[in-house]
Amino acid sequence: MKTLCIGYVWAIATIAIPLQPYWESFNDVDYAILMAMRFTLIAILCLIFDMRDIVQDTKDQVPTLPVKYGLLPTYRIIWVMLLIYMCGMFYRWGYTPISFGMGAVCLWVIALLHWQKQRKDDLFYLLLVDGTTVLPVFIFYTIEWIF
């Protein structure tokens, strides 16, 4: 539940509010896809943090997804969310440099999932996992600048 709330709030804060002045230039489908993509990315990152905190959350009886269902179902949920992210990305941008840049975000999240098994230090989570929230914007503007 916490993951869904955080994903929703971040999607509102980073998509809905900044795009409000430009509402007329977006159709509803594009807006919904951008919201869904941001929601899934933030939810994935929250789940990675929840997997790190599974021991403490179990002790404190915090009902997170990894605590309730285990790590393997949580990994599967993350993979489904990555698939949703990629479908939205290709639907919105097709096979363009931007979609391949956003695909790099997916590869980065997969790398984080792989590294996350060995890493428990705060530096990894604060810089690499939290830093992923700004990665799509950085990639988008870099690709726009290049092309």
Separation in Å, CA 120 to CA 51, 83, 124, 131? 10, 26, 7, 16
pLDDT of amino acid 1: 73
Q: What are the tens digits of pLDDT across the range 84-113? A: 999 988 888 888 888 888 889 999 999 999
pLDDT range class, residue 66, cuts 50, 70, 90:
very high
The whole-number average pLDDT for the span 65-83 is: 94
Give the domain ranges of the chain.
Answer: 2-146
CA-to-CA dists, residue 3 to 39, 85, 111, 139, 143, angstroms:
10, 16, 21, 25, 30
- pLDDT given at position 18: 86
Contact indicator for 64, 103 with CB cutoff of 8 Å: no
Name which of 38, 123, 126 is nearest 85 in CA terms. Answer: 38
| Distance (Å, whole) CA 136 – CA 41 | 10
Q: What is the mean pLDDT of the chain?
A: 89
Q: What is the pLDDT of residue 136?
A: 85
pLDDT of residue 83: 93
Q: Which CATH number fits domain 2-146: 3.40.462, 1.20.120, 1.10.357, 1.10.20?
A: 1.10.357
pLDDT on residue 46: 93
pTM of the entire structure? 0.87
Q: How far apart are CA 117 and CA 120, in angstroms?
A: 8
Whether the CA torsion 125, 48, 43, 136 is positive or negative: it is positive
